Chains A and B, each alone.
Chain A
Amino acid sequence: MSKVTEVDIALSILDHQLVDGDGQNCGKVDDLEIAGLDGDSPEVVAILVGGNAWRSRGRLGRLAARLSGNAVHVPWTEVDSVTSVVTLKRPATELRLNRGDEHWASIVGKLPGS
Chain B
Amino acid sequence: MARKHGLTLAEIGDWKEKFLLGAENALRSKHLDEEALKDEQIKRLQPTPRGRRSSAPSRERWSVSVHLKGALVLGVVVAVFGVGCGGAGKLGVKALSQESKSLQSLAAEGALLAEDAVFGKTTRVYTREHSSDLYNAVSQAEASLKAAKTEPALEPKLRRLAVLAAQVRADLNRLGGASKEEERAIGRELQAAAQESQQISEELK
Contacts and interface: CB of A to CB of B under 8 A. Distances in A.
Direct interface between A and B, CB < 8 A: yes
Interface of A: 1-9, 11-16, 31-38, 40, 42-43, 45, 48, 55-58, 79, 81-84
A2 B48 contact: no
B49 interface: yes
B41 A5 contact: yes
B50 interface: yes
A55 B6 CA distance: 12
B125 interface: no
Given A1-B30, A84-B49, 6 more contacts: A2-B38, A12-B55, A35-B6, A36-B1, A37-B5, A56-B9
Chain A CB count within 10 A is highest, among B8, B34, B48, B55, for: B48
Given A4-B19, A4-B20, A9 B48 contact: yes
Interface residues of B, number: 39
Contacts of A15: 55
B15 A55 contact: no
B3 A45 contact: yes
Given A12-B52, A35-B4, A81-B46, A6 B12 contact: no
Contacts of A57: 9
Interface string B49-62: 11111110000000
